[in-house]
Amino acid sequence: MSGDHHGSSAISERVRHVEALLEARGLVDEGEIDRSIDDFLAGGSPVNGARITARAWVDPGFRDRLLADANAAIRELGLSMAGGLQEQRLKVVANTEDEHNVVVCTLCSCYPIALLGPSPSWYKSEAYRSRVVRDPRGVLAEFGLELPAGTRISVWDASAESRYMVVPRRPEGTDGRPEEALAALVTRNGLIGTAAV
């Protein structure tokens, strides 16, 4: 299934064959392929989502702007959702004492790669995509996140044009910590909503 990896040499050979054919026809060149892979690996990281989160924790004005218009707000930090094949609309949702948010793409794998890095296989798996919308509380418990029965859970389903990111709750006892130290507390799963911080 989608979360699996079939590492057979047969597909490796087929991909090499098609790539060579396309090179021979002038549709791709080897340098372009290598650059594209390097750009993808360098292009996004959960460090970016963590910076956004830490800023939202320390700056209520930024938090308001982020929740109102995330595409504009992240440009204040030099970040953008326009680095891929098309600009994506970003909506950022913030966890509170009463509400927890979690992100999925039920149809495929839409994900804010610029802010979170390459997506984990479980995010792309049919298991996660099918189940988190039906039983979010149960799925979050499998990730080790047991939410109080009174906490409302909102599940955000990404699409081809729209991406979502979660701002986790700021941990207790972190008053006065510098922004960089706060950012270091934020995990990728926290930004998806499958973990607390």
Partner 1 sequence: MSRINDVGGMVGFPAIAEEPDEPAFHADWEAHVLALNAALIRRGVYNLDEFRDAIERMEPAAYLSSSYYEKWFTAITTLLVEKGVATPEELAVPGTDPGG
Residues interacting with partner 1, by CB under 8 A?
A: 1-7, 11-19, 21-22, 25, 27-28, 32-34, 36-37, 40-41, 85-86, 104, 106-109, 117-118, 120-122, 124-131, 133-134, 139, 142-143, 157, 160
| 104: nearest Cα among 50, 45, 153 | 153
Closest CB 6 distance from partner 1, rounded Å: 5
Closest approach of Cβ 65 to partner 1, in Å? 29
Residues 115 and 167: their CA atoms lie apart, in Å, by 12
Q: Is 105 an annotated catalytic residue? A: yes
Question: Which one is catalytic: 2, 45, 80, 109?
Answer: 109
Nearer to partner 1, 72 or 160 (CB): 160
Smallest separation (angstroms) from partner 1 to the CB of 129 = 5
Number of continuous H segments (helices) and E segments (strands) in the chain? 11, 4
The two beta strands, 99-104 and 152-157, are parallel
According to DSSP, residue 142 is labeled: H
Does 80 participate in catalysis according to the annotation?
no
Query: 108 among the known binding-site residues?
Result: yes
Question: Is 109 an annotated catalytic residue?
Answer: yes
- Is 110 annotated in some ligand binding site? yes
Listed in sequence order, the residues at least 6 apart from 114 whose beta carbon sits closer than 8 Å to its beta carbon are: 43, 44, 48, 79, 80, 81, 83, 84
Instruction: Output the known binding site.
Output: 105, 108-110
